[in-house]
A and B are shown apart, each in its own frame.
Chain A
Amino acid sequence: MTSRYLSIEGIARRFSAGGKRTTVFEDLWFAMDKGDFACIIGHSGCGKTTVLNILAGLDAPDDGVVAVDGKAIEGPSLDRAVIFQSHALLPWRTVLGNVSYAVSSRHPRWSRDQVRAHALKFIELVGLKGSETKHPAELSGGMKQRVGIARALSIEPKILLMDEPFSALDALTRGTLQDEVRRICLETAQTVFMITHDVDEAIYLADRIVLMTNGPEAVIAEIVENPLPRDRRRLDIHKQPDFYAVRNHLIDFLVERSRTFKASLPDGYQRRHPPRVRPSAAPNPTPDGDARAA
């Protein structure tokens, strides 16, 4: 287990306000292999964003460590790119300027032409060729987020961190962007850690889905292995035999068990090794003895 690519080891985050200490979460364990796509699902306030910020190095855990490729995280790094929910483009820079800013940060010694060529490659990858000279204000929400994606990918990070990247987009744009992110991540075997609220998005994109209970003092309830085949397509994903099994499992969790899980911890529950679940249409009882999936 120690040789995992990304390893969250017993992290805790506490805030104190007005003399009262609130524990957002503690003793949180999770690990990912290279090329994994993991989604974390949970209600607002469960600390998802805090986990992501700790992974990004923008926030520091009060206890525990996070290691990437064998090295503990100490602050932000170009090894981990963040795609922000609000796209966070610099409005005074053009599309090319925003991506180039990241490229020249990654490769300070590169010539202007090298930076430009590299940035253009990633602008083309996200389908924004022809819009390089536009400013963010001239772009639609989907196009802005494409720039955010191009900027994050252009530094060729070890891990891509996404904080609800599609939540501000309309359904059609969201679908197209999900397709592209999935295509790019599969092509480049990118390791991705993503926060989402959207169950269908998680099922479509993620290999594994981390379920977090409600905060404060949130815990990882279980880790759902996505049973759908890796070559799933948006078009017919709902016709996959296991689709509704996993979907119902996730929705049940969000609606009910995210609230009640902590009160009735399953036997043998260990924070360090949360149960792994693989919902399936075939009768295949889950570790918490739940036959719901059948």
Chain B
Amino acid sequence: MVGSLRVRALIVSVLLLAGFLLAWHFAVQGGIKDTGMDPEYAKLMGLTATQGGSAMPGPLAVGETMWKHLANPFYDNGPNDKGLGIQLAYSIGRVLVGYGLAALVAIPLGFLIGMSPLMNRALDPFIQVLKPISPLAWMPLALYTIKDSTLSSVFVIFICSIWPMLLNTAFGVGSVRKEWLNVARTLEVGPFRQAFTVILPAAAPTILTGMRISIGIAWLVIVAAEMLVGGTGIGYFVWNEWNNLSITNVIVSILAIGVVGMLLDQILAVITRLVTYPE
């Protein structure tokens, strides 16, 4: 056997990537030149039709554009021409604000639901109805009531990231092992101290799993929300570049969205690992 599993997996990954890039490169080279085309029509159709090239940019063109973005990510030449970094920063900022507010509401509320069978039953119908609503369906209502597009997108992030955190917190708190609670009871630990020293650490892995699901959903939703509200953000940038017919920029931003989403997920994964205890 050559190397560890990790090394071998890396080799396969690199080979797959290389294969994909090569296939992509040759796929956009285009076919046969259509020389017999009416000159007027050829002008209308552009170079792609007359010279056999594809409108789809190849990996080299995308790489070149990406390099330009990476070299200068924070330029700002007015409303319609901002660097990729600025657009991403806008989106991340909105996600973090909406997500943070959701955590502030969902975790205490989840504690309440997890600890009180009464509240669990009383709030259950509301949660069941509100949870399956697409976050974007809230957008018109948010725009009408809040009257601010940025705040509306923050609200949409809030409403979509609250559910996994709420349900996981409630579940984690509700399923804390009875014997741990009994330990606290026999030690005459007060309810407040018990919540912080027994229930919170016991439920932390479940809560963090909910937070990890939420950040993933929030990052999915912000792109769509920004396409709707416009102005700034990576979602708006993608849509704007589509309107500019700059497929290269669209591909670059798709990649950027993927990388940022992965980073957000990994940050939560690291925190989850920190609070996970082996039994």
User: At the interface, yes or no: A12 with Cβ under 8 Å from chain B?
Assistant: no
- A residues 9-59 touching B (CB-CB < 8 Å): 56-58
B window 224-279: CB within 8 A of A: 275, 277-279
Chain A residues near B38 (CB-CB < 8 A): none
Within 8 A of A (CB), among B124-143: none
A101 in contact with B179 (CB, 8 Å) = no
Interface 0/1 of B189-225, CB less than 8 Å to A: 1000000011001101000000000000000000000
Q: How far does the Cβ of B179 sit from chain A's closest Cβ, in whole Å?
A: 4
Measured between alpha carbons, how far is A58 from B181 in the docked complex, in Å? 10
Q: Encode contact with B along A172-212: 1 for CB under 8 Å, 0 otherwise.
A: 00000000000000000000000000000000000000000
Question: Closest residue to A85 on the B side, CB-wise?
Answer: B179
Q: Tell me if B54 counts as interface (CB < 8 A to partner A).
A: no
Given contacts A78-B188, A106-B187, contact A88 B278 (CB under 8 A): no
B177 contacts across to A, CB distance below 8 A: 88
Q: Which A residues are in CB contact (< 8 Å) with B202?
A: 90, 92
- Chain B residues with Cβ under 8 A from A135's Cβ? 277-278
Which residues on B sit within 8 Å (CB–CB) of A102?
A: 187
A78 to B189, CA, bound (A): 10
Hey, which chain B residues are within 8 Å of A136, CB to CB? Answer: 279
Main secondary structure of the interface of A (DSSP, over half): loop
Q: Cβ of A153: which chain B residues have Cβ within 8 Å of it?
A: none
When distances are taken between beta carbons in the complex, the residues of chain B under 8 Å from A76 are 182, 185-188
Q: State which of A57, A80, A91, A105 has its C-beta within 8 Å of the C-beta of B279.
A: A91
- Are B186 and A92 interface neighbours, CB within 8 A? no
Is B180 interfacial (CB 8 A cutoff)?
yes
- Residue of A with least CB distance to B193: A105
| B183 adjacent to chain A (CB < 8 Å) | yes
- Asked if A81 CB lies within 8 Å of chain B CBs, one says yes
CA distance A138 to B158 in the complex (A): 40
Pairwise interchain contact B278-A91, C-beta atoms closer than 8 A: yes
Main secondary structure on chain B at its contact with chain A? helix
Judged by a CB distance under 8 angstroms, whether A224 is at the interface is no
Nearest CB on B from A154, distance (A): 10
Set of chain B residues within 8 Å of A105, measured between Cβ atoms: 187-189
Q: Is the CB of B180 within 8 A of A77?
A: no
CB distance from B29 to the nearest CB of A (A): 58
Please measure, in the bound complex, the distance between the C-alpha atom of A193 and the C-alpha atom of B185, giving whole angstroms.
19
The CB with the most chain B CB atoms within 10 A, among A58, A75, A80, A92, is that of A92
Is the CB–CB distance between B183 and A88 below 8 Å?
yes
- For residue A86, CB closer than 8 A to chain B, the reply is yes
Interchain CB contact under 8 A, B186 and A80: yes
Give complex CA distance A18, B279 in Å: 36
Contacts of A244 in B (CB 8 A): none
- A137 and B275 CA atoms in complex are apart in Å by 15
| Distance of A137 Cα from B278 Cα, bound (Å) | 6
Q: Determine which residue in B187, B197, B201 has the highest number of CB atoms from chain A within 10 A of its CB, and name it.
A: B187
Contact of A57 with B278 at beta-carbon distance under 8 Å, contacts A88-B180, A90-B198, A101-B197 already known: no
B183–A84 CB distance below 8 A: yes
Distance of B80 from chain A, by nearest CB (Å): 51
Provide the residues of chain B in CB contact with A86, threshold 8 Å: 179
Which single residue of chain B is at the shortest CB-CB distance from A58? B182
Q: What is the minimal beta-carbon distance from B219 to any residue of chain A, in angstroms?
A: 29
Determine the chain B residues whose CB is within 8 A of the CB of A92 once the complex forms.
201-202, 204, 275, 277
Q: Is the CB of A90 within 8 A of B188?
A: no
Cβ contact within 8 Å between A137 and B187: no
Interface pair B277/A56, CB less than 8 Å apart: no
Q: Does A82 contact B (CB under 8 A)?
A: yes
CB distance from A179 to the nearest CB of B (A): 25
B-side contacts of A137, CB under 8 Å: 277-279
Query: Is A155 part of the binding interface, using a Cβ–Cβ cutoff of 8 Å?
Result: yes
Q: Which listed residue, B183, B188, B201, B277, touches A77 by the CB 8 Å rule?
A: B188
How far, in Å, is B254 (CB) from chain A's closest CB?
A: 40
- Nearest opposing residue in chain A for B204, CB measure: A92
Contact of A58 among B180, B185, B279 (CB under 8 A): B185
The residues in B between 149 and 183 inclusive whose CB is less than 8 angstroms from any CB of A are 177, 179-180, 182-183
Please measure, in the bound complex, the distance between the C-alpha atom of A135 and the C-alpha atom of B278, giving whole angstroms: 9
Which B residues contact A (CB, under 8 angstroms)?
A: 177, 179-180, 182-183, 185-189, 197-198, 201-202, 204, 275, 277-279
Sorted nearest first, the 9 A-B pairs with minimum C-beta distance are: A137-B278, A105-B187, A92-B277, A88-B179, A91-B277, A76-B185, A76-B186, A92-B201, A82-B186
What 8 new A-B contacts, CB under 8 Å, besides A58-B185, A135-B278? A56-B182, A76-B187, A77-B186, A78-B187, A88-B177, A88-B179, A92-B277, A137-B279
13 pairs across A/B with beta carbons < 8 Å? A58-B186, A75-B185, A76-B182, A76-B187, A84-B182, A88-B177, A88-B180, A90-B180, A90-B198, A91-B279, A92-B202, A101-B187, A135-B277
